[in-house]
């Protein structure tokens, strides 16, 4: 019997921040921002605020239903079929997301880490994911993400500061990128970056103070929006648009420019080390969230039963894109779908739940 | 966690470790390429020159030497190969080496003049695409062939050529003989729509092999490869190569290089010599730097870009052989005005040259980027087609603050 652990909303916020920010290590995150041109940082900030605005009513409502999770909200709203459908859509989105991230991670490994042994890294990444998702569970995930967050922040901020001298602030102009109208029209798609927030809704049932689930969402979205925006600012300053949009691994490219003296010259080696852990946290968390959703929807006693099939599914999806370019393109194309499932679906459930509650109260 | 689980975790960790380093590369199996030169030869082929550090004292037969290595015996070999791309040429060179050659230890990349006049974008992008070459390697433009620079370099006050290249670059940077640039600077400035890249220049000075130095042919600052010096290495690092887009269009001398850096707000402490206002046949030497960043006002005049720039310098008198006491306020003002006028004339000369080359290494275009509401509007304006229309008003001011260790005229009796 595993030891019962319950964490607070700050711990969940830290985990959410880690999981969301780990995407900065992958090309697709910045790929979504190509449309924002020189104003990517602004699009990220606006998208972060929009993501929280959509998440907040869901968090408030989820905290009120028995079970305190997205699936329990779906069950309360439309019974078991709705819960299963929600698990299929929300969990499916996370598995698809995991598959593409796994592919990008493997491609990064092939390009950067083990140019001669790509299969080795793919296997290592898979093993780490199994350890995290299957053996760790949500409590361990939260604790691990929380403990990893300071290191992640330190490394990222260190790289950004180390790269500042290479950039020129005038490359950020024009500040509106494609112009105010187009920027506002394109920003909603950037919200897709925040779709792993679903992870918080899967872990809410083990939260100490569920009423503050919205706080975890606020810290995660706003914190990540600020961090992403900082990364994007330094990236555009260093690799001016449109050059920056052709750089396959942006944070790695920045790390390669950092000069730490002759003794500490290969900073990106350190970055690669932390990137592996960040990816593992990210993949482990979203895989766990999808497994937890399926398990709850179909009534499995433990999420662990669902982990292996989902991991295999993610691994299969990872093999679908024929090349790294296509993997990034698929991720970008996923943006409208991710927006609809991660934010539209829970929002719809909340609206229907509220309407049905009023009708039943009225009756 | 139960025993079975622990065993499972250990097995999985073991799986992670098992693949290990089966394809590792030992240090003594690698060739250390410290400098790379790229040229277009007479037949139109790409010629790649590499300087490889030879370290016979460090290892003997693949095992570490039992005695302390003699670093004074470190030297370098220069190898060349032809190919369609840099990577292909490196593979060709590997055919005659017992050690693996790659770009990860490269400290400097030097490009030949012929190739640069065709355009460097493809080659810079090839190096940027490589996981081994790094954006922070020193990047220089040869006046002539890169091969000559690498093959003819002779260490002075050094024991090995690789260190000599690095030392030249460091000295050029500290004395502002050439702009301190790395490969990423070229890439970013070429990519940024609003200015043109430039590179530090290296050249082989045939006259420098003799000693003493040949007589000066003019009072003007010399172009790279023509510095009036003698003895030592024939290779020198001075001046700037100017590009229009990614194509080399010309070279600046040291004076013009200083003014370019001043306009960009990147000039540190530099040296200049100009006519003494009280004794025109004599020259005053000053060390000067920028008191603050240049102040720009960018406007459109009759629909054409017009820039006003104000530069404020601070100077220190190092030599005033005319005998005037420039610490006296009235004389100091005369000297300040003369120095200011000299700097302004040098800047005008530089701007005329840039206009002739249709190049914008200062990055005047970036002053206008913020005036456009969107990126598309800025792109459709097409700064490159407006570089010709640009007019620049330059205002300079020199403030002399110090006179070295002697405050007064050069008079002993």
Which residue carries 């901020």 as its tokens?
A: A157
| Shortest Cα–Cα distance, B224 to chain A (Å) | 27
State pLDDT tens for residues B334-352. Answer: 999 999 999 999 999 999 9
DSSP for A202-236 reads: HHGGGBS-GGGHHHHHHHHHHHHHHHHHHHHHHHH
Q: Which residues of B touch A178 (CB under 8 A)?
A: 374-376
State pLDDT tens for residues A104-151. Answer: 888 877 777 655 444 555 566 666 666 766 677 788 888 888 888 998
| Shortest Cα–Cα distance, A56 to chain B (Å) | 33
| Shortest Cα–Cα distance, A55 to chain B (Å) | 31
- Quick check: A37 contacting B, CB < 8 Å? yes
- pLDDT class of A362 with cuts at 50, 70, 90: low
| Shortest Cα–Cα distance, B377 to chain A (Å) | 9
- Quick check: B136 contacting A, CB < 8 Å? yes
Q: Which residue of A has its CA nearest to B192?
A: A240
Average pLDDT of span B142-158: 85
Q: For position A363, what pLDDT does the model report?
A: 47
How many beta-carbon pairs below 8 A join chains A and B? 90
Q: Phi/psi of residue A300, each to 5°?
A: -70, 145
State pLDDT tens for residues B296-311. Answer: 999 999 999 999 999 9
Chain B (161-200) residues lying within 8 Å, Cβ to Cβ, of chain A: 184-185, 187-188, 191-194
pLDDT over 70 at B218, yes or no: no
Q: Which residue of B has its CA nearest to A175?
A: B370
Q: Could you tell me which residue, B301 or A31, shows the higher pLDDT? A: B301
Q: For position B365, what pLDDT does the model report?
A: 95
Average pLDDT of span B372-400: 94
Q: Which residues of A touch B135 (CB under 8 A)?
A: 166, 253, 256-257
| Shortest Cα–Cα distance, A115 to chain B (Å) | 9
- Quick check: A169 contacting B, CB < 8 Å? no
Q: For position B216, what pLDDT does the model report?
A: 57
Q: In the 3-class helix/strand/coil scheme, how is A25-70 assigned residue by residue?
A: HCHHHHHCCHHHHHHHHHHHHHHHHHHHHHHHHHHHHHHHCCCCCH
Query: For residues B267 and B261, is the Cβ–Cβ distance under 8 A?
Result: yes
Q: For position B69, what pLDDT does the model report?
A: 52
Q: Could A243 and B373 be called an inter-chain contact, meaning their C-beta atoms sit closer than 8 Å?
A: no
State percent of chain A over pLDDT 90.
Answer: 46
Judging by DSSP bridges, how do beta strands B59-60 and B63-64 pair with one another? antiparallel
Stretch among A74-78, B157-161, B203-207, B377-381 having the lowest mean pLDDT: B157-161
Stretch among A79-93, B51-65, B156-170, B385-399 having the lowest mean pLDDT: B51-65
Q: Could A176 and B373 be called an inter-chain contact, meaning their C-beta atoms sit closer than 8 Å?
A: yes
CA distance A213 to B394: 60
The reported pTM is: 0.88
- Quick check: A131 contacting B, CB < 8 Å? yes
- Quick check: B14 contacting A, CB < 8 Å? no
Judging by DSSP bridges, how do beta strands B59-60 and B108-111 pair with one another? unpaired
Average pLDDT of span B196-218: 76
Closest partner residue to B5 (CB to CB) among A123, A135, A182 is A135
- pLDDT class of B15 with cuts at 50, 70, 90: low
Q: Computed from CA positions of residues B351, B353, B357, B359, in that sequence, does the dihedral angle turn out positive or negative?
A: negative
- Quick check: B131 contacting A, CB < 8 Å? yes
Q: Could you tell me which residue, B227 or A17, shows the higher pLDDT? A: A17
pLDDT over 60 at B57, yes or no: no
Q: Could B19 and A177 be called an inter-chain contact, meaning their C-beta atoms sit closer than 8 Å?
A: no
- Quick check: B22 contacting A, CB < 8 Å? yes
Q: For position B71, what pLDDT does the model report?
A: 53
pLDDT over 80 at A4, yes or no: no
Q: Which residue of B has its CA nearest to A242?
A: B191
pLDDT over 60 at B62, yes or no: no
State percent of chain A over pLDDT 70.
Answer: 88
Q: Which residues of A touch B131 (CB under 8 A)?
A: 111-112, 115
pLDDT over 60 at A357, yes or no: yes
| Shortest Cα–Cα distance, A268 to chain B (Å) | 11
pLDDT over 70 at B24, yes or no: no
Q: Could A174 and B369 be called an inter-chain contact, meaning their C-beta atoms sit closer than 8 Å?
A: yes
Stretch among A227-231, A278-282, A337-341 having the lowest mean pLDDT: A278-282
pLDDT over 80 at B219, yes or no: no
pLDDT over 70 at B139, yes or no: yes
Closest partner residue to B374 (CB to CB) among A179, A242, A256 is A179
Q: Computed from CA positions of residues A82, A85, A89, A92, in that sequence, does the dihedral angle turn out positive or negative?
A: positive
Q: For position A185, what pLDDT does the model report?
A: 92
Average pLDDT of span B407-411: 74
CA distance B38 to B137: 14
Chain A (102-121) residues lying within 8 Å, Cβ to Cβ, of chain B: 111-112, 115-117, 120
Measured from the Cβ of residue A319, the count of other Cβ atoms closer than 10 Å reads 12
- pLDDT class of B376 with cuts at 50, 70, 90: very high
| Residue of B4, B191, B368 to mutate for A, most A C-beta atoms under 10 A | B191
State pLDDT tens for residues B66-78. Answer: 555 555 556 778 9
Counting beta carbons within 10 angstroms of the beta carbon of residue A107, is it exposed (0 to 12), middle (13 to 18) or buried (19 or more)? buried
| Shortest Cα–Cα distance, B284 to chain A (Å) | 35
Judging by DSSP bridges, how do beta strands B391-402 and B295-301 pair with one another? unpaired
Closest partner residue to A127 (CB to CB) among B16, B23, B192 is B16
Q: For position B34, what pLDDT does the model report?
A: 87
pLDDT over 80 at A95, yes or no: yes
Q: For position A47, what pLDDT does the model report?
A: 94
- pLDDT class of A13 with cuts at 50, 70, 90: very high
Average pLDDT of span B169-187: 85
Q: For position A117, what pLDDT does the model report?
A: 47
- pLDDT class of A1 with cuts at 50, 70, 90: very low
Tokens representing A68 are 């305190």
- Quick check: A308 contacting B, CB < 8 Å? no
Chain B (384-403) residues lying within 8 Å, Cβ to Cβ, of chain A: none
> How much is the mean pLDDT over chain B?
85
Q: For position A340, what pLDDT does the model report?
A: 95
DSSP for A183-211 reads: HHHHHHHHGGGGGGGHHHHHHGGGBS-GG
- Name the CA dihedral angle for A169, A170, A174, A177, rounded to a multiple of 10 degrees: -50
Query: Among candidates A119, A125, A124, A74, which has minimal Cα distance to A98?
Result: A125
> How much is the mean pLDDT over chain A?
86
Q: Phi/psi of residue A135, each to 5°?
A: -95, -35
């Amino acid at each position: 019997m595993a030891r019962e652990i319950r964490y607070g909303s700050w711990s969940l916020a830290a985990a959410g921040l880690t999981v969301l920010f780990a995407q900065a290590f992958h090309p697709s995150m910045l790929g979504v921002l190509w449309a924002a041109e020189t104003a990517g940082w602004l699009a990220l900030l606006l998208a972060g605020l929009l993501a929280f605005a959509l998440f907040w009513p869901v968090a408030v409502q989820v905290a009120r239903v028995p079970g305190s999770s997205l699936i329990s909200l779906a069950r309360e709203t439309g019974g078991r079929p709705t819960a299963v459908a929600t698990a299929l859509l929300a969990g499916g989105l996370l598995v698809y997301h995991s598959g593409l991230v796994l592919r990008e991670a493997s491609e990064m490994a092939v390009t950067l880490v083990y140019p001669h042994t790509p299969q080795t890294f793919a296997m290592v990444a898979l093993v780490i994911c199994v350890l995290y998702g299957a053996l760790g569970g949500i409590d361990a995930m939260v604790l691990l993400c929380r403990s990893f967050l300071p290191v992640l922040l330190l490394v990222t901020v260190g790289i950004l500061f180390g790269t500042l001298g290479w950039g020129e602030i005038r490359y950020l102009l024009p500040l509106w990128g494609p112009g105010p109208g187009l920027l506002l029209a394109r920003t909603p798609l950037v919200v897709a970056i925040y779709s792993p927030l679903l992870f918080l809704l899967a872990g809410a049932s083990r939260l100490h103070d569920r009423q503050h689930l919205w706080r975890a969402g606020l810290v995660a979205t706003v914190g990540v929006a600020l961090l992403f925006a900082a990364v994007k600012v330094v990236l555009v300053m260093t690799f001016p648009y449109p050059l920056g949009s052709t750089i396959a691994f942006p944070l790695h490219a920045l790390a390669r420019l950092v000069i730490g003296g002759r003794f500490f010259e290969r900073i990106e080696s350190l970055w690669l080390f932390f990137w592996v852990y960040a990816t593992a946290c990210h993949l482990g968390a979203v895989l766990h969230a999808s497994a937890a959703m399926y398990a709850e929807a179909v009534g499995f006693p433990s999420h662990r039963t669902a982990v292996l099939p989902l991991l295999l599914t993610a691994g299969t999806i990872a093999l679908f894109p024929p090349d790294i370019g296509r993997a990034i393109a698929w991720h970008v194309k996923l943006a409208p779908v991710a927006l609809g499932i991660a934010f539209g679906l829970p929002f719809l459930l909340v609206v229907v739940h509220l309407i049905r509650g009023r009708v039943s109260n009225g009756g | 966690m139960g025993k079975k689980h622990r065993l499972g975790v250990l097995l999985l960790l073991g799986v992670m470790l098992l693949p290990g380093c089966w394809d590792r590369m030992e240090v003594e199996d690698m060739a250390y390429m410290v400098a790379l030169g790229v040229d277009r030869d007479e037949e139109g082929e790409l010629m790649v020159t590499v300087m490889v550090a030879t370290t016979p004292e460090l290892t003997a037969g693949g095992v570490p030497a039992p005695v302390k290595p003699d670093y004074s015996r470190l030297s370098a070999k220069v190898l060349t190969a032809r190919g369609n791309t840099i990577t292909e040429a490196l593979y060709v060179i590997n055919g005659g080496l017992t050690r693996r050659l790659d770009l990860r230890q490269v400290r400097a990349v030097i490009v030949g003049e012929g190739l640069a006049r065709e355009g460097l974008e493809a080659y810079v992008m090839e190096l940027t695409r490589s996981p081994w070459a790094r954006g922070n390697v020193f990047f220089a433009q040869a006046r002539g062939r890169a091969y000559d620079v690498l093959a003819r370099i002779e260490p002075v006050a050094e024991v090995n050529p690789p260190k000599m290249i690095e030392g030249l670059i460091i000295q050029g940077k500290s004395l502002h003989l050439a702009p301190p640039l790395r490969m990423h600077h070229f890439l970013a400035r070429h990519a940024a729509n609003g200015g043109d890249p430039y590179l530090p220049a290296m050249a082989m000075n045939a006259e420098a092999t003799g000693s003493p130095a040949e007589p000066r042919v003019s009072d003007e600052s010399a172009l790279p490869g023509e510095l009036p010096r003698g003895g030592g290495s024939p290779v020198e690092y001075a001046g700037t190569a100017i590009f229009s887009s990614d194509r080399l269009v010309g070279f600046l001398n040291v004076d013009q290089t200083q003014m370019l850096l001043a306009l960009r707000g990147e000039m540190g402490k530099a040296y200049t010599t100009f006519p003494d206002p009280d004794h025109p046949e004599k020259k005053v030497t000053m060390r000067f730097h920028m008191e603050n960043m240049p102040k720009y006002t960018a406007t459109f005049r009759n629909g054409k870009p017009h820039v006003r720039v104000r530069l404020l310098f601070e100077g220190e008198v190092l030599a005033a052989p005319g005998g005037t006491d420039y610490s006296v306020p009235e004389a100091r003002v005369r000297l300040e005005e003369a120095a200011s006028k000299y700097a302004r004339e040098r800047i005008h000369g530089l701007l005329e040259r840039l206009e002739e080359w249709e190049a914008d290494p200062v990055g005047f275009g970036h002053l206008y980027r913020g005036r456009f509401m969107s990126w598309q509007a800025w792109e459709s304006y097409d700064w490159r087609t407006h570089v010709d229309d640009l007019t620049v008003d330059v205002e300079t001011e020199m403030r002399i603050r110090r006179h070295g260790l002697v405050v007064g005229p050069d008079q002993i009796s």
